[in-house]
């Protein structure tokens, strides 16, 4: 019996996932909860687990393919005589092949469904167990059924087929061809199913050059060096984290009225404190950085200005004051910009905060952040100083009231005790949502953080 497993949703409203790597191949025997593949959503990389004991009959898609939620991703060959589509998250348990009547999800199984029984038969589709050759491509721009791209096959009468757009080339490739004056109708594609690729267009352009009046740039002189020795034009699809980041930042920038304030602080005493702490037995195993001190100072300052830790709920006409700090740390990861957070950072002392920061940084660099670490933040820090930058105008993480950027620490002439001396100086940049935070409150928060960094002992007097 053939079972088709559709890609389920994580339960967070995500509509697609990018297939990163397959962990199985056609013909492999798998058991329930064996890892089938790694997929990347807009929030995290997760493992896709098998809902069945059986044999892999077909894998739908290659690494790098974006799969829509509800679309077939794996076909299983199971003992039996009938073929049917596997339930996705939210369906009933099926014909008893799932353990204990549990519902399959993208990362495992939920609780047993109450009154779980055999549901109504889903639409049957007949499918050969062995992979079949890729069909020939339809004319450019013509829609084809899912069967033409290996996501469904002919079945019984009334079977609904998935319609997808499958031109002879992708929109970015057609745009590149237009820019370079290349006629796609005269090209033989080297991609899967005869699809014209970017390389096909570039080879054609090198042979003929752009057509007159096409608007393309003049052909380069032979031997002209490009940046990094790479092709003159490269394209990358917008997907996963970059797509989600762009949507979130655009929504934040145009929904929350941003105000940014700056404060330059003499942090010489804080840097001296870090050096002293690194020699202390309680901190020797920890990595202490200026971010550690800023994180602690921000948690203290939020005690006095809770408006910076609030949330605007326009849908219900209310402001939510959060008396805890889930401290977000903007991190540049291999997957792009991510903002994991430290839960209840206000309850941590400096050593515990340093330990959590180190753990979070390590997990982010490994690309192993989980969805739960990326939601629920209340206030964010971003360290632009690690890139040698002094200041900026950071965009607020959606749903939060403020974000604090810390610039690089650098030695520069500074007034100290009435004289000019070389001191270590940092610039802080605070952006806040003016719906929630007035200028007075934003300024007080920034001044409090600056006071702690200027004279760490002030923490004992102010908080």
Buried b / exposed e over 170-184, threshold 16 CB at 10 Å, is beebbebbbbbbbeb
Q: Which of 408, 409, 432 is nearest to 256 (CA)?
A: 432
d(CA 353, CA 345): 7
pLDDT at 310 > cutoff 80: yes
| CB distance 325 to 376 below 8 Å | no
Q: Do domains 2-110+119-164 and 241-462 have the same CATH topology?
A: no
The 3-state DSSP composition of the chain as helix, strand, coil percent (nearest 5) reads 30, 25, 45
Average pLDDT over residues 132-137: 43
Confidence of residue 82 (pLDDT cuts 50, 70, 90): low
Give the residue numbers annotated as catalytic, written as ranges: 434
Lowest-confidence range among 48-57, 76-85, 442-451?
A: 76-85
What CATH number belongs to 241-462?
3.30.559.10
How many residues are there in the chain?
463
Confidence of residue 119 (pLDDT cuts 50, 70, 90): very low
Using only C-alpha atoms, the chain has a radius of gyration, in whole angstroms, of 28
d(CA 380, CA 110): 32
Give the domain ranges of the chain. 2-110+119-164, 171-229, 241-462
For position 454, what pLDDT does the model report?
97
pLDDT tens digits along 368-412: 888 888 899 999 999 999 999 999 999 999 999 999 999 999 999
Q: Which of 105, 122, 103 is nearest to 114 (CA)?
A: 103
The SS3 of residue 276 is: helix
CA angle 4, 5, 7 (to 5 degrees): 140
Buried b / exposed e over 90-105, threshold 16 CB at 10 Å, is ebbbbbebbeebbbbb
Residue with token string 């005869």:
194
d(CA 24, CA 458): 58
Q: Which of 403, 379, 231 is nearest to 311 (CA)?
A: 379
135 HSE (CA, 13 A, CB side)? 14
For position 166, what pLDDT does the model report?
37
| Paired tokens of 282 | 């309680």
Q: Would you identify the CATH topology of the domain 2-110+119-164?
A: OB fold (Dihydrolipoamide Acetyltransferase, E2P) (2.40.50)
Is the whole model's pTM more than 0.85, yes or no? no
Confidence of residue 193 (pLDDT cuts 50, 70, 90): low
- 77 versus 427: the higher-pLDDT residue is 427
| Paired tokens of 395 | 């965009």
Is the backbone of residue 244 left (phi > 0), alpha (psi -120 to 50) or beta?
Answer: alpha
């Amino acid at each position: 019996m053939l079972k088709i497993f559709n890609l389920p949703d994580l339960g967070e409203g995500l509509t697609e996932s990018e297939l990163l790597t397959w962990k199985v191949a056609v013909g492999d025997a798998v058991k329930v909860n064996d890892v089938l593949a790694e997929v990347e959503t807009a929030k995290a990389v997760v493992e896709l687990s098998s809902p069945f004991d059986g044999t892999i009959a077909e894998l739908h898609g290659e690494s790098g393919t974006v799969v829509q939620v509800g679309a077939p991703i794996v076909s299983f060959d199971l003992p039996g005589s009938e073929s049917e589509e596997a339930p996705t998250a939210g369906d009933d348990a099926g014909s008893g092949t799932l353990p204990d009547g549990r519902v399959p999800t993208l990362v495992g199984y939920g609780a047993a469904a109450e009154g779980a029984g055999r549901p109504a038969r889903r639409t049957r589709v007949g499918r050969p167990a062995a992979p079949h050759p890729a069909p020939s491509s339809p004319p450019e721009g013509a829609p084809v059924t899912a069967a033409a791209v290996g996501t469904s096959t002919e079945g019984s009468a009334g079977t609904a087929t998935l319609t997808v757009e499958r031109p002879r080339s992708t929109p970015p490739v057609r745009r590149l061809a237009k820019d370079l004056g290349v006629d796609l109708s005269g090209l033989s594609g080297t991609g899967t199913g005869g699809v014209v690729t970017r390389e096909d267009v570039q080879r054609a352009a090198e042979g003929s050059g752009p057509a007159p009046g096409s608007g393309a740039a003049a052909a380069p002189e032979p031997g002209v060096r490009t940046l990094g020795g790479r092709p003159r034009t490269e394209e990358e699809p917008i997907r996963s984290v970059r797509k989600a980041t762009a949507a979130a930042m655009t929504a934040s920038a145009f929904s929350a009225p941003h105000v940014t304030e700056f404060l330059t602080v003499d942090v010489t005493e804080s840097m001296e404190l870090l050096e002293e702490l690194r020699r202390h037995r309680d901190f020797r195993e920890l990595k202490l950085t200026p971010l550690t001190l800023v994180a602690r100072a921000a948690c203290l300052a939020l005690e006095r200005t809770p408006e910076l830790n609030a949330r605007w709920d326009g849908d219900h006409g209310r402001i939510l004051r959060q008396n805890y700090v889930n401290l977000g740390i903007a991190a540049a990861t291999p997957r792009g910009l991510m903002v994991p957070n430290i839960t209840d950072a206000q309850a941590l002392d400096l050593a515990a905060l340093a330990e959590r920061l180190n753990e979070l940084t390590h997990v982010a660099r490994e690309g192993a952040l989980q969805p739960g670490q990326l939601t629920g933040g209340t206030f964010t820090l971003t360290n632009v100083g690690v890139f040698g930058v002094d200041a900026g105008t950071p965009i607020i993480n959606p749903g939060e009231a403020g974000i604090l950027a810390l610039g690089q620490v650098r030695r520069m002439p500074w007034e100290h005790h009435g004289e000019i001396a070389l001191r270590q100086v940092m610039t802080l940049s605070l952006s806040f949502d003016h719906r929630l935070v007035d200028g007075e409150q934003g300024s007080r928060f920034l001044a409090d953080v600056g006071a702690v960094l200027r004279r760490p002992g002030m923490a004992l007097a102010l908080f």
